[in-house]
Structure 1
Amino acid sequence: MENNKKTKFRQFYDALPPKADIAPKTAFVKKIAAMCKVHEVTVRCWIAGTQKPDALKTSIIAKELGISEQELFT
């Protein structure tokens, strides 16, 4: 991301612990991908800030994470 300001979505991802049987961050990506019916690479693009999900997917993610839709990717 150009301005180094992390989105709430990225902050949530970064706060996950780094190690486990299946890495929590990998589990998070898999879960979000399954919920939104997209490829894991797509979720990783959302995390990196190179893409943003559409309104329906944003609402699904916001509900799951308990973060408002307005804050999630800003």
Structure 2
Amino acid sequence: MGGTIFWGTTFFIALEVGFYFFVNTTWKAGDRQLQHLLFATSVFCCWMMWAIIYMAQMNPLVVPVLSGPE
């Protein structure tokens, strides 16, 4: 299970690196700081949501109940 957290985090880091180069090649120099902040914040929020949802599945609050044959 620890590998999933590692690979998921690696994916989001790679996504941020890709956005970094995308911003540097697309936007003008005056707009880059804001765009870097926006992309970094959005990637961090997506990673945080993914991590919380992934960890919530480890210890669910409501345990699923299997119904028997009826």
Taking structure 2 as the reference length, what is the TM-score of the superposition? 0.27
Taking structure 1 as the reference length, what is the TM-score of the superposition? 0.27
**Larger Rg computed on CA atoms:** 2
